[in-house]
Amino acid sequence: MSKISHTADRRELTDAQRNAVAELMRVSPIADELGRRFAKAGFELHLVGGSVRDALLGRLGDDLDFTTDARPDDTLRVLKGWAETTWETGREFGTIGAQRRGLRLEITTFRAEAYDGVTRNPVVQYGESLQEDLRRRDFTVNAMAVSLPDHRFTDPYGGLDDLAARRLRTPGTPRESFGDDPLRMLRAARFAAQLRFTLDPDVRAAMAAMAADLERITAERIRDEFTKLLLGADPVTGLRLLVDTGLAEHFLPELPGLKLAIDEHAQHKDVYEHTLTVVSNAVRLEGDEGPDFVLRMAALMHDVGKPATKAVGTDNRVSFHHHEVVGARLTKLRMKELRYPKDVTSEVVKLVALHLRFYGYGRGEWTDSAVRRYVTDAGELLSRLHKLTRSDCTTRNRRKAAQLSADYDALEDRIAQLQADEDLARVRPDLDGNAIMELLGVPPGPIVGRAWRHLKEARLERGPLDRDEAEAELLRWARAEGLI
């Protein structure tokens, strides 16, 4: 379907409404079947929220959201014998999930929930009507519905006009909406990043005034919204909103903290602006592979160690020695607080720790050993490290930028040359554990591990060794250790 223009008039909005219903016809065989089943059982069924919004934007996916006056037990009875599978993980919130012919459906009883202002979870209260359900939704663009199976369109709060204008408003007052669920403030920033929407001034003002209410939300819910924001088409806009409204202070204080650290090269107003530029650069370097959370998060966090390591020398030059070490530690702590999986955290932390390793290569100081270590330390993250390092080059000096780019081109060429001769991605000692035990006459244990690590260091330093060289190196090490 055609997308809504930014300056749509009433005729265009009417066309967009018709197009939305036409787009929904793609899934209507399933949606209408389900609507007829609910109607036969005496219940209403409406496609609602993000599904209607995305249909209007021409980006409807295979995950569909419905609302109904049926209670969860009733919904399960309607689905029985029709859905290929059902799940009840959201039952406490009135949601039943189902799958049918490749579509994932979530069917939620009309809700009129509200937070009590103290706890971190909503108090679920079932509503009695579609109008009541739509009023409790976060934004007007998500408060539209298409009834099934008759395809009647309901838009009581002007969501269609707001969608045409790419504008975020709330069905009631912003304070009422954010008071019901403070996570909606973070979701507003996410929509700005994901859909390139602008915020109504009242919405933005309420976010700034109520930012502290985000403390009532669990780390897991914040993490999920923030991840979607960072993976959006325009994450920098969303990140700026988090900082400007004060939301970031309550779950990612390292980001606004970057404003305190002036870039030592005086290339940017502050490290904060430099960081946002690096994030933008990283997004551009992703190519056709799609959004990469690990790369984007590493770009966002790569300089968070600078405020703690800032020093001014006798020549009045600012330095941030070892900020990559401090930044890696801060990144690990922050991602742990946000409950990110350990493997994802480990990858981001490693990139932050390695992001400065390249600097100095252009001075001709790197030996083959240094190149091997660069590749080995990066491991499977080498491609991302290439992108992060290139993204970090934000100098406005064209000559310097060209030189840095040429230097990194040279490093990548050198890595390719060494990889043609050696398997740098799988650097191993030239003797395995069995050979070490046989030569030294020792059983399995710590000595074998120490010997293995020494031979790996020798392999990194000198390149591949033949069998005689490797055995001689092992025996030299063993004598120096007093083992033979």
Give the model confidence (pLDDT) of 425-434 as tens digits.
556 677 788 8
pLDDT of residue 364: 60
The Cα 345–Cα 332 span in angstroms is: 6
What is the average per-residue pLDDT within 143-165? 91
Tokens representing 425 are: 């991605």
pLDDT at 8: 39
- The pLDDT value given to residue 10: 43
The secondary structure of residue 91, as a DSSP letter, is G
Answer CATH for 252-425 from 3.40.720, 1.20.58, 1.10.3210, 1.10.520: 1.10.3210
Average pLDDT over residues 182-210: 96
Query: Which one, of 339, 330, 63, 121, lies nearest residue 224 by Cα?
Result: 339
Q: How confident is the model at residue 454 (pLDDT cuts 50, 70, 90)?
A: confident
pLDDT tens per residue, range 249-292: 999 999 999 987 555 554 444 899 999 999 999 999 997 878 99
CB atoms inside a 10 Å sphere around CB 117: 10
Report for 12-16, 20-24, 190-194: range of highest mean pLDDT? 190-194
103-107, 313-317, 356-360: which has the minimum mean pLDDT? 313-317
Q: How long, in residues, is the chain?
A: 484
pLDDT of residue 263: 52
Q: How far is CA 12 from CA 7, 8, 138, 143, 146, in A?
A: 9, 5, 25, 20, 19
Residue 234, pLDDT above cutoff 80: yes
**463 — pLDDT class (breaks 50, 70, 90):** confident
404 to 117, 153, 181, 435: CA distances (angstroms): 53, 56, 47, 44
- How far is Cα of residue 48 from the mean position of the Cα atoms in its chain? 26
**Cα–Cα distance between 79 and 96 in angstroms, integer?**
10
Does residue 371 have a pLDDT over 90? no
Q: Are 309 and 320 in contact (CB under 8 A)?
A: yes
Average pLDDT, the chain: 85
Average pLDDT over residues 35-59: 92
> What is the 8-class DSSP label of residue 123?
B
Rounded to whole angstroms, what are the CA distances from 3 to 50, 235, 344, 398, 468?
A: 15, 22, 36, 39, 70
Q: List the single range of 4-8, 118-122, 207-211, 419-423 with lowest mean pLDDT.
A: 4-8
Q: What b-and-e string marks burial along 348-385, b requiring 16 or more CB atoms within 10 Å of the CB?
A: bbbbbbbbbbbeebeeeebebebbbbbbbebeebbebb
- Calculate the CA dihedral of residues 395, 400, 404, 410 and round it to 10 degrees: 160
CA 227 → CA 193, 222, 284, 292, 296, distances in Å? Answer: 11, 8, 18, 10, 10
- Full strand arrangement of the beta sheet holding 45-48: 85-87, 95-100, 103-109, 63-68, 45-48, 145-147, 153-154
The region of weakest confidence among 115-119, 143-147, 250-254, 296-300 is 115-119
pLDDT: which is higher, 76 or 311? 76
Strand pairing report for 95-100 and 103-109: antiparallel
End-to-end CA distance of the chain: 78
Q: Does domain 1-165 have CATH number 3.30.450.20?
A: no
Dig out the tokens for 114 from the structure.
């509200």
Phi and psi at residue 112, in whole multiples of 5°?
-140, 40
Asked which of 15-24, 162-171, 306-315, 338-347 is least confident by mean pLDDT, the reply is 15-24
Q: Mean of the pLDDT values across residues 30-34?
A: 91
pLDDT tier, 313 (very low <50, low <70, confident <90, very high otherwise): confident
Element (H, E) at 3: none
